[in-house]
Amino acid sequence: MDKLMNDLKEQIIDQLNLQDLKPGDIGDDESLFADGLGLDSIDVLELIVLMQSIYKIKLSKAEDGPKVFQSVRTMAEYITANQAA
């Protein structure tokens, strides 16, 4: 799971063009939104595309979005759970 979380951090930085950040700057449990990285709804769409293109996983229900994209750890848990399914 640690490798997946580190990969996700690198992919988030690349996908969202956050060149001023390094993977180590993003905490595993840090909020991706207001109190953390400050991402917005447009950024979430980019993260959905990232999950679909790299991990071949679609968000099954739109209402799951806030829970799935809460942090890098919650994204990794969702990917792990849905790749195994």
- Split at pLDDT 50, 70, 90, the class of 83 is confident
- Split at pLDDT 50, 70, 90, the class of 60 is confident
Q: Give residue-wise pLDDT tens across range 3-48.
A: 999 999 999 999 999 999 999 999 999 999 988 899 998 999 999 9
CB atoms within 10 A of CB 26: 21
